[in-house]
Amino acid sequence: MAKWGEGDPRWIVEERADATNVNNWHWTERDATNWSSEKLKELLMGLQVESEEGKCEITEVSKVEGEASINNRKGKLIFFYEWNLKAAWKGTSKSGIKYKGNIEVPNLSDENDMDDLDISVSLCKDEPETELLSLMRSEGVKTIRTALASYVDFLKTEFTQGMILPTANGVTKQQKAQATTKSNKTQIGSCSPAPPPPNTGVKIPTCKFSLKDTFLTSPEDLYRVFLNQEMVQAFTRSSAVVEAEKGGKFHLLDGNVNGEFHELVPEQKIVMKWRFNSWPCEHYAMVTLTFTDKGNETELKIECWAVPESEEERTRDGWQRYYCHAIKQTFGYGARLC
């Protein structure tokens, strides 16, 4: 017989103040189907791509069929999801001609790599041929793939809140690991360090928004501003770490903003996970920056998904003030030279 206090950790009830799922040993499951259905619609609806041929937009998500769940066993999360998706898109050529088409994703599954995902794009019956179909099959598919990848990220971060339960002292394995990292700041421009807020286990209502601005420079130069560490430090006027590669991390404004690059298309697009450090632990928004050449200037479109509803105004203001305005002021991209 084991001595007092030396037994199998599965039986150490004292580790949890309420004795619930001690040490996360028991198998627990959470149904993510309804949440996933809404999240997929949110991420896909309104997606747009644009070129010199015209503009296309997803106007309806007509089918979201499947299921998703998360299992916790011994503190390890196991994800299962399988979806069949159908959507409709509309396009308008530069000459004003309108077109309609369909999108189908038959195999969004945990068993398939995102790069191997089959995304079928077609025109509706009797629609005439158009270059907009090629646009949707190239840039449109990339944008859809990015949105679906962000769904998987949100499933593994936002929806898992609270699945790994804290012990009596309120610390999970994930939080113990985070405690060893450098403390970040909680307010933009703040000098007083504070750790990120704890994992509360509460699902977060989110929203999406987009912004557009124009810069008096080329897409190449503006693209470089977001990826060159010295230039980032210049326009934020603070320390920064920028790993300019797919999967690379970034930490801006003395740690108040951080994230990871998901896709980098030189002079055209940057896709990233992005968060304020004061947001709930491990919750990220998905941000896409699209650079469009307008001759002597560049149009920047900023699209943000999964922003906490309570943080929409602050996030929108942050992008306008600490990115757009600061970049123009620092590099002179906002004033025409006579």
For residues 255 and 146, membership in a common domain is answered with: no
My answer on whether 316 and 220 are in the same domain is yes
Q: Is residue 22 part of a domain?
A: no
The CATH code of the domain that includes 133 is: 3.15.10.20
Which range (171-175, 206-210, 218-222) has the least confidence? Answer: 171-175
Q: Which residue has the tokens 């999360």?
A: 77
Judge if 34 and 109 occupy the same domain: yes
Using the structure block, give the residue that is written with the tokens 């998706």: 85
Tokens coding 26: 């028991």
* In a shared domain, residues 42 and 140: yes
Pairing relation of β-strands 206-215 and 120-123? Answer: unpaired
Whose CA is closest to 20, among 132, 208, 200, 165?
A: 165
Average pLDDT for the chain: 80
Residue 223 in this model has a pLDDT that exceeds 60? yes
Asked if the model's pLDDT at residue 27 lies above 70, the reply is no
Q: How far apart are CA 279 and CA 257, in angstroms?
A: 10
The whole-angstrom separation of Cα 138 and Cα 52 is: 14
- pLDDT of 21 > 80? The answer is no
Q: Is residue 41 part of a domain?
A: yes
**SS3 category, 231:** helix
pLDDT at 225 over 50: yes
What is the model's pLDDT at position 163? 47
Would you give the DSSP letter of residue 323? I
In tens, the pLDDT along 120-173 reads 999 998 889 999 999 999 999 999 998 998 888 888 776 665 544 444 444 444
Helix 141-157 and helix 33-44, axial crossing angle in degrees, nearest 10: 150
pLDDT in tens, 322-338: 999 999 999 989 854 43
- For the four alpha carbons of 147, 153, 158 and 160, in that order, the dihedral sign comes to positive
Whether 275 and 319 have beta carbons less than 8 Å apart is answered as no
Choose between 48 and 157: higher pLDDT.
48
Provide the 3-class DSSP secondary structure of residue 234: helix
Domain contains 112: yes
Q: Between 205 and 76, whose confidence is greater? A: 205
- How do residues 264-320 score in pLDDT, each as one tens digit? 999 999 999 999 988 887 789 999 999 999 988 999 999 999 899 889 999 999 999
CATH number at residue 303: 3.30.530.20
Q: Is residue 4 part of a domain?
A: no
Instruction: Let me know whether 154 and 212 are in one domain.
Output: no
Domain boundary among 131, 158, 185: 158
The arithmetic mean of pLDDT across residues 88-97, rounded, is: 94
Q: Confirm if 103 and 91 have CB atoms less than 8 A apart.
A: no
In a domain, 33, yes or no: yes
Domain annotation covers residue 154:
yes
Residue 184 DSSP SS3 = coil
Final residue in a domain of this structure, among 102, 131, 158: 158
Q: Is residue 214 part of a domain?
A: yes
Distances (CA, A) of 253 to 22, 176, 189, 224, 233: 39, 25, 7, 18, 8
- The DSSP letter of residue 190 is -
Structural contact between residues 53 and 92, judged by C-beta atoms closer than 8 angstroms: no
Domain that holds residue 306: 206-331
Quick one: 154 and 252 in the same domain?
Answer: no
State the pLDDT at residue 113: 85
Do 211 and 134 have their domain in common? no
Helix, strand, coil shares, percent, the chain, to 5: 30, 35, 35
| Mean pLDDT to the nearest integer, 174-192 | 38
325 plus 211 within the same structural domain: yes
Strand residue runs (E) in the chain: 28-31, 48-51, 54-73, 76-93, 98-109, 120-123, 206-215, 241-242, 249-252, 257-265, 269-276, 285-293, 298-308
Do 211 and 150 belong to one domain? no
**Count of the separate structural domains present in the chain:** 2
Rounded distance, CA 220 to CA 32, Å? 41
Domain end call among 92, 125, 158:
158
In this predicted model, what pLDDT tens digit does every residue of 253-265 receive, in sequence order?
Answer: 888 899 999 999 9
Whether pTM > 0.95 for this model: the answer is no
pLDDT of residue 205: 84
> For residue 182, is pLDDT > 60?
no
**Weakest-pLDDT range from 2-16, 46-60, 112-126, 226-240:** 2-16
Same-domain status, 59 and 143: yes
Q: What is the dihedral of CA 119, 121, 124, 128, to 10 degrees?
A: -170
Whether residues 61 and 151 share a domain: the answer is yes
The answer to whether residue 258 sits within a structural domain is yes
- Does 216 lie in the same domain as 145? no
